Chain A
Amino acid sequence: MTRRSWIGWQFTGPFLAVFGLVFLAPIAYAAYLSVFRTRLVGGTSFVGFENYTKVFGDPQFWEALTRVSLFLLVQVPIMLGLALLVALAIDSGRLYGAGFFRVAIFLPYAVPAVVAALMWGFLYGTRFGLVGNINELFGITLPDPLSPDLILASIGNIVTWEFVGYNMLILYSGLRVVDTALYEAAAIDGAGQFRIIRAIKLPALRGPLVVATVFSIIGSFQLFNEPQILDTLAPNSITTYFTPNIYAYQLSFAGQQVNYSATVALVMGLATMVVAYLFQGRALKGAA
């Protein structure tokens, strides 16, 4: 090994050591745990892939997975659609105070999920929240956003509020690297704003949109914070298997089923990566 080679390892070594400890080792340990089972009587025994077959036949797991898939299919398009509209509006140069819009709409990104969920949770309150105020003011009864029927939509609103600005900035940054000579050429050819958006801006946003969607796929499948926190305000609406992550958490803590919990976490992590990877592959295929 040359001297330069050794120096390179000295720079990357500390990062890799911690990376190994908090990325690779937990995955390996979870994989190890997932092939055992602990019983009150009889202790721990090797069971091969039994935990995995159990996951695939577990109705609670499927219900959780179906719920986050529905969330992905409905919430993510709404959020990214709004982010796209705002990014195009700010980039158009036709807004008064565009800089203020950009910063203010991004700001919720700096708000912790705990605070975001609690704020919206209070606003949703039919007794003393804003929904309650509106009911009182107009003498009507709006449906309870924290009821079991509406809780998923209410969570969708919270997540949209938190991340629409973040996604807007990703898309806006993508628009800023478009060569403005293209707009000038299009304007000379008589193209209007909407024509320019369709022919130049949207194609340029393909990459950033894929990045934003991949992040959103991960966020949806790994949903945990918002429902877990709303549980303190709406204990009857959030089940112990509301999302796959809540299920894995509950199995570890309330259920003491460590081996099965590790299996659920692994399966879900893998499913997230596979879906994100497949999406990215498909979305970028026609791009070249």
Chain B
Amino acid sequence: MSTTPTVRAAAQSPGRSRKPVTVRASVSRPRRSVTLTIVTGLMLAYTLLPLIWLLISSTKTQSDLLGTFGLWFSGDFALFDNIGRAFTYQDGIFGRWLLNTVLYVLVGAGGATLLAALAGYGLAKFDFLGRRAVFALILGGIAVPPTALAVPTFLMFAKMGLTDTPWAIIIPSLVSPFGLYLMWTYSSEAVPNEILESARVDGAGEFRSFFKLSLPLLAPGLVTVLLFNIVATWNNFFLPLIMLKDADLYPLTLGLYQWSRQATTVGGDVVYDLVITGSLLTIVPLTVAFLLLQRYWQSGLAAGSVKQ
């Protein structure tokens, strides 16, 4: 694993036996197996098959899509034409959906990460009245399936007049109990109490200490939590589906769903080529983010696997 020892140490809960990273490398290297690689390669092929199909299909015109073999290029190379049409179809609504998604992600996932960092840090570093009760409440929150809350939240937001506004998407995205749990773990391990004490002696306020001293130390944990919040918000479907009627407020996921549904409505414009190209455009940003930020999410999941 490419994680640094500090990230790994911070990712583990206290009291667990910790394996120094160097030991692993000195263990006798087993011989590599071609057979095992091929067998595991089948799983890899299964994983990549739909993605390769999507990539190839987005280079085809709608008629070639229907008329040619799916897993190879043929006909005109129409990728750039498809991208252009995706952004101009229906007065360029795809670009609008993209901007909406970015807005929901920036405010929703960014806000969720900030709230989780503040609260996780608060729980880790301050012994206050009611702290145990708060902690129990959050752990209970992790167990509540988010989709089970969707319909009740919709009914309540409808009463409050919040449906069909950006707030209906942003406010529920602001809370991530699991993100809080991760930030609590990181804060306990990565921020030494000594530097907070000396800052207090120097007369610095607690919030100033948090932003100036602690936040840089929490950076690896913050990126992990942010990344998982971004995925949750970017890929959100159920919540926008029930909250939004106005197509101008849709995120990408809901927009693609609507384009796909056009084919089933009477007189609807069949735009499978745009659905496919739009799908490709939707997954590129997150795929790139995951590839670039590998060491962060891998350490984050390591922390997730030792939670109990």
Binds B, one of A5-13, A42-50, A59-67: A5-13
Majority DSSP secondary structure for residues of B touching A: helix
Chain A contact patch, size range: 35 or more
B37 in the interface, Cβ–Cβ < 8 Å? yes
Residues of A contacting B217 in the complex (Cβ-Cβ under 8 angstroms): none
Complex Cα gap A183–B19 (Å): 13
Residues from chain A with a CB closer than 8 A to the CB of B136 are none
Chain A residues, Cβ within 8 Å of B137? 16, 19
Is B171 touching A22 in the complex (CB atoms < 8 A)? Answer: yes
Q: Which of the candidate stretches B62-70, B84-92, B218-226 sits at the interface with the other chain?
A: B62-70
Query: By the criterion CB–CB under 8 Å, are A95 and B33 in contact?
Result: yes
The distance in angstroms between the C-alpha atoms of A170 and B307, with both chains bound, is: 11
- Interface check B188, CB cutoff 8 A: no
A23, B47: Cβ atoms closer than 8 Å: no
Verify B304–A170 contact, CB threshold 8 A: yes
Also in contact, A18 and B171, with CB within 8 A (given A133-B70, A265-B151)? yes
Tally B residues with Cβ within 8 Å of A: 114
Instruction: State in angstroms the CA–CA spacing of A26 and B279 once bound together.
Output: 32
Minimum CB–CB distance for B5 against chain A, Å: 13
A residues near B302, Cβ cutoff 8 Å: 173, 176-177
- Out of A106, A112, A252, name the residue touching B154 (CB < 8 Å): A252
Asked if B212 is at the interface (CB within 8 A of a chain A CB), the reply is no
B48 touches A273 (CB 8 A): no
Given A95-B37, A105-B43, the answer on whether A29 and B122 have CB atoms closer than 8 Å is no
Contact between B70 and A130 (Cβ–Cβ < 8 Å)? yes
Residue A55 is within 8 A (CB to CB) of chain B in the complex: no
Q: Which residue of A lies closest to B48 (CB)?
A: A104
Least CB distance from A105 to B in Å reads: 5
One of A70-78, A142-150, A226-234 contacting the partner: A226-234
Contact check: which of B29, B122, B145, B287 meets A269 at CB < 8 Å? Answer: B145
Complex CA gap A253/B175 in Å reads 26
- The SS class assigned to the A binding surface is helix
A222 contacts B147, CB within 8 Å?
yes
- In the docked arrangement, what's the CA distance between A108 and B37, Å? 20
Q: Compute how far the CA of A72 lies from the CA of B44 in the bound complex, rounded to whole angstroms.
A: 24
**With the chains together, A161 CA to B50 CA distance in Å?**
10
Q: In chain B, what residue has the closest Cβ to A212?
A: B305
Given contacts A19-B175, A258-B155, contact A207 B127 (CB under 8 A): no
Say whether A111 faces chain B, with CB atoms less than 8 Å apart: yes
Q: Once the chains bind, are B291 and A103 in contact (CB under 8 Å)?
A: yes
User: Given A6, A22, A248, which contacts B153 in the complex, CB threshold below 8 Å?
Assistant: A22
Is the Cβ of A252 less than 8 Å from the Cβ of B119?
no
A119 in the interface (beta carbon within 8 A): yes
B231 within 8 A of A: yes
In whole angstroms, how far apart are the Cα atoms of A165 and B184 in the complex? Answer: 26
Interface string of A104-119 (1 = CB under 8 A from B): 1111111111111011
Q: A8-B127, A104-B44, A115-B283 are in contact. Are A94 and B155 (CB under 8 A)?
A: no
Q: How far is the CB of B237 from chain A (nearest CB, A)?
A: 5
B282 within 8 A of A: yes
CB<8 Å pairs between A and B, sample of 6: A8-B131, A30-B155, A94-B31, A184-B27, A232-B260, A233-B260
Those 6 A-B pairs whose CB atoms lie nearest each other, nearest first: A11-B122, A8-B128, A269-B148, A8-B126, A15-B119, A30-B152
- Residues on B close to A: CB < 8 A? 1-2, 12, 16-19, 23-24, 27-34, 36-37, 39-40, 43-44, 46-51, 53-54, 57, 65-67, 69-71, 115-116, 118-119, 121-123, 126-131, 134, 137-138, 141, 143-145, 147-156, 159, 171-172, 174-175, 177, 180, 206-207, 210, 231, 234-235, 237-238, 241-242, 252-254, 256-257, 260-261, 263-264, 272, 275-276, 279, 282-283, 286-287, 289-291, 294, 298, 301-302, 304-308
In the complex, given contacts A95-B33, A245-B147, A277-B143, what are 20 additional A-B residue pairs having Cβ atoms less than 8 angstroms apart?
A5-B129, A7-B126, A8-B126, A11-B210, A12-B123, A15-B115, A22-B175, A110-B289, A111-B235, A119-B279, A127-B66, A128-B67, A133-B71, A170-B301, A225-B238, A233-B263, A252-B242, A265-B151, A268-B148, A276-B143
